[in-house]
Amino acid sequence: MELIYISVLAVALVAVCVTIHYETLRGLSSIAHQPGRHRWLVLISMYGALTAHIVEIWVFAGGYWLAEQLGLGAIDTIKDPFDYIYYSSMVYTTVGFGDLIPSAGMRLLTSAEALAGLALITWSASFTYLQMQRMWRE
């Protein structure tokens, strides 16, 4: 039963993060069609994408906390709430220092975040490239 619960949580967290990312990039693409001030629009796009990533990292950090509270697994040596954010940022960016180690269902959640983080970061890179390409032509 634990596998079902952690799988549902993983799917829900990925869906929330993809939705946040989609809506952020959609909003940022609408401002890019405004004439003039292309340098500012590129900066706004970058800051917007980075903000979305930070929010998504926090969403997964909350998911790790929730999973641990529900007894679906643990992350060794977690001492305070900021450790969840640190762990989430290491997994999301696929850096993975290895100083915090997931056990039980947390491994599935960690895998889902790594895959989602990689996809969302590349989505932002593609979006930024296309925005800059479009703005440099105008």
- In words, the CATH class of domain 2-137 is mainly alpha
Per domain, the residue ranges of the chain are 2-137
Mark residue 102 as left, alpha or beta (left: phi above 0; alpha: psi -120 to 50; beta: remaining).
beta
Q: How far is CA 135 from CA 40, 43, 64, 121, 123, in A?
A: 11, 12, 39, 21, 18
pLDDT given at position 35: 63
Q: What is the pTM of this model?
A: 0.93
SS3 (DSSP) at 99: coil
| 92 within 8 A of 117, measured Cβ to Cβ | yes
The gap from C-alpha 66 to its chain's centroid, in whole angstroms, comes to 17
Q: What DSSP string runs through 54-75?
A: HHHHHHHHHHHHHHHHTTSEEE
**What pLDDT digit, counting tens, does each position of 115-131 carry?**
999 999 999 999 999 88
Give whichever of 28-32, 38-42, 111-115 has the largest mean pLDDT: 111-115
